[in-house]
Amino acid sequence: MRLGMGKQAKWQLAAQQVTPESVFRQRRRIVQALGLSAIGASVPMGVQAGLLDWFGEPQRAAETTPLPYSGSHRFGIEDPLTPEQKVISHNNFYEFGTAKTDPQQHAQELSTEPWHIEISGEVARPGRYSVAQLLAQFPLEERIYRMRCVEAWSMVIPWLGFPLSQLLETAQPSSRASHVAFETLYDPKQMRGQRARGIGGGIDFPYVEGLTLAEAMHPLTLLSLGLYGKTLPPQNGAPIRLVVPWKYGFKSIKSIVRIRVTAEQPPTTWNQLAAHEYGFYANVNPAVDHPRWSQASERRIGEGGLLSAKRIATEPFNGYGEFVEDLYRDLDLARHF
C-alpha cells in the first residue's frame, strides 16, 4: 500500500497490523458480543449487512494526494463531519457491486490517469478537458455538504470542488439548452458490476444522470475532485463527480467522462430502473415517501457507523431550501418527485 501523503492515518496502520484471519476473528467476536449469531436469523438482512460493513478493513487503498484549495463554506450546516473512514468505506457505486463495502474493496485499481471529460451538445464551445486542465483553470474550494441517500442514511462530507456553472459558462450553452446530461465511465474490464447484471444491481450501464439547466447552473451544484483535503478515493467517484446536496445521493453521479447539454430532459439511471420509485427531480422531501419506506427521517452516520447512527428528521431540500426553493416555485413537488 502506497499513500501520497507520506503519513498514514491510524486506521490504515491498524489495518496493516492485523492479518485477515484476526480481522475475521475480531469481527466474529463483535458480532457475538452484540448478541447476534454470525448469520443470525433474528436480524433483518439489511441490519446484518450494515453491521458487517463496519468490521471490514480495506485490503489496499489507492493513493490519494493533498489538493490545494482556498476557503471552506458550510451554507448554514453546523452538523459535525462524518469521520473520513466512514465516508470512504460505506459507499454506493454499483459499477463495483451493490454492497456498501464493494466499492472500497473493488474500486482501488480504477485507472484515473489519464482522464478526460468531454463537453458537447447544445454549446457554442464543445471541448475535452483533462483533469489537470480543469484543476489549472478552476480553483478549488471546500464545501461542507450533507449527503442524503434515498435509502434514508446520511453523512456530512467536506468536498473539494468548483461550481459546475463555471465549466458550463466556459462551454456557453445555446438558447435551445434546457438540461444537462452526465455519464459515468463504461469499462467492464475495470468495473466488475458492468460485467454481470447480478453484480451491478440490474443497472443498464453506463450510469447516467441529469439536471435542468437551472439546477446545473445553481451555485450549490459542485463538480468535486476531492474530499477531506485530498483527491477523491476511487470508491467516492474519482477523479471527478457531481455533488448536488439538495437531492437524493443517486443524482450525484461518480467518475464522469461526459457532460452533454441537451434540449430535452435526458434519461436517468434510477428513473429508468423504477420510475415510480425514483423521479427525475429527486429533491430530498420528507413529505413524499418512497413506496417501500418513509423519507421522514434518516440515520446520520457518525463514529459508530450505521448501527449506532442517530435517527434525525429529514429536512426539505436536505436543509438547503432557502437557497434552492425558488427553482421549484411552479412545480408540484409531490407529482414531480
Ligand X SMILES: Nc1nc2c(c(=O)[nH]1)N[C@H]1C(S)=C(S)[C@@H](COP(=O)(O)O)O[C@H]1N2
Other beta carbons less than 10 A from residue 127's beta carbon: 15
- By CB under 5 A, the residues from 67 to 126 that bind Mo ion are 92
**Near Mo ion by CB under 5 A, which window of 47-55, 148-156, 162-170, 287-295?**
148-156
Query: What gap in Å lies between CA 67 and CA 158, rounded to an integer?
Result: 13
Backbone angles phi, psi at 181, to 5 degrees: -110, 145
Distances (CA, A) of 82 to 65, 115, 299: 20, 29, 12
Closest to ligand X by CB, 141 vs 187, is 187
Q: Does 324 bind ligand X (CB under 6 A)?
A: no
**x/- contact string, 227-266, with ligand X (CB under 6 A)?**
---------xx-----------xx-xxxx-----------
Shortest distance (Å) from residue 68 CB to ligand X: 22
Q: Does 95 bind ligand X (CB under 6 A)?
A: yes
**Near ligand X by CB under 6 A, which window of 48-56, 76-84, 90-98, 301-309?**
90-98
Residue 165, annotated as binding a ligand: no
Residue 254, annotated as binding a ligand: yes
- For CA atoms 52, 57, 63, 64, give the dihedral sign: positive
Given ligand X, Mo ion, none, residue 314, with its beta carbon under 5 to 8 Å by kind, binds none
Given Mo ion, ligand X, none, residue 207, with its beta carbon under 5 to 8 Å by kind, binds ligand X
Q: Does 89 bind ligand X (CB under 6 A)?
A: no
**Near ligand X by CB under 6 A, which window of 86-94, 167-175, 287-295, 308-316?**
86-94
Judged by phi (left if over 0) then psi (alpha if -120 to 50, else beta), residue 84 lies in alpha
* Strand pairing class (297-302; 305-313): antiparallel
Residue nearest to ligand X (CB): 249
* Strand pairing class (222-227; 230-231): antiparallel
Q: Does 243 bind Mo ion (CB under 5 A)?
A: no
Number of H helices, E strands in the chain: 10, 13
Given ligand X, Mo ion, none, residue 194, with its beta carbon under 5 to 8 Å by kind, binds none
Shortest distance (Å) from residue 174 CB to Mo ion: 32
Find out whether the peptide bond into 239 is cis, omega within 30 degrees of 0.
yes
Buried residues in 152-171 as b, exposed as e (16+ CB within 10 A): bbbbbbbbbbbbbbebbeeb
Binding positions for Mo-molybdopterin: 91, 94-95, 149, 184, 236, 241, 252-254
